[in-house]
Amino acid sequence: MQIKNKLVKTENEATHLSRGVVIPHDVVDGIVKAAMIEARDYLQSEIDNHYKDGTYLHPDDIPNNRELIYCMNKLIAYY
């Protein structure tokens, strides 16, 4: 069963539906990329603050954040 968002439609669905907001794929890609860059920068700042200022990070968070940052960099480069 596929759940559809009734308020936001893709370009192809706009021809079939009469209500809602049509968001071009390029705009959606830009929004996703901007959100990913912001999340990556936040995770990196947490690691930087941990090493510079001594702010607490759980020992598991450091390698997990680094792995997430690595994956986000790959995805951002894809966009």
The pLDDT of residue 63 is 95
Q: What average pLDDT does this structure show over 27-55? A: 94
The pLDDT of residue 16 is 52
**Entry pTM:** 0.70
How many angstroms separate the CA atoms of 41 and 46, rounded?
Answer: 9
pLDDT bracket for residue 18 (50, 70, 90): low
The pLDDT of residue 20 is 67
Instruction: Calculate Rg over the CA atoms of the chain.
Output: 18
The enclosing H or E element of 10 equals none
Instruction: Kindly list the domain boundaries of the chain, sorted by start residue.
Output: 24-78
Q: What average pLDDT does this structure show over 70-76? A: 95
Say if residues 40 and 73 touch (Cβ distance below 8 Å).
Answer: yes
| Burial class of residue 19 (count of CB atoms within 10 Å of its CB; 0-12, 13-18, 19+) | exposed
Paired strand residues for 21: 8
